Structure 1
């Protein structure tokens, strides 16, 4: 069985660029205020969601392993 992730978007940081929606249309959506939301806050690990998080111009997306809470993105430095 693959990893499960908790996906969070900091809407105080999100600028509504929609990069996440174009990169992972099944993973993110924009609301009426053009703020990003994960379609499912708990989801199977996905390369498209990771690409969306990595490409977010303001790094508003955080991904953690659901079971352990270990940070997937952004990486601990």
Structure 2
């Protein structure tokens, strides 16, 4: 699942290592690596990450194909 966790984690606001994020979320560093590399993750983990970064999960986890399809549908409706 594509996401922008690495970008958020390394942003000026957070400036964290994978280990620091893992500790904050109560998971292993390997879990963070897997998520950043696009592995599927649970809804619970998605919500933990979203709450930690204080963002809507859709702003963090996304796929280009879904976004592209939604944009196409919006244009057809308008």
Which TM-score band applies after superposition, normalised by the shorter structure? 0.3 to 0.5
Identify the structure with the greater strand proportion.
1
Structure possessing the higher radius of gyration over alpha carbons? 2
TM-score by length of 1: 0.42
Identify the structure with the greater helix proportion.
2
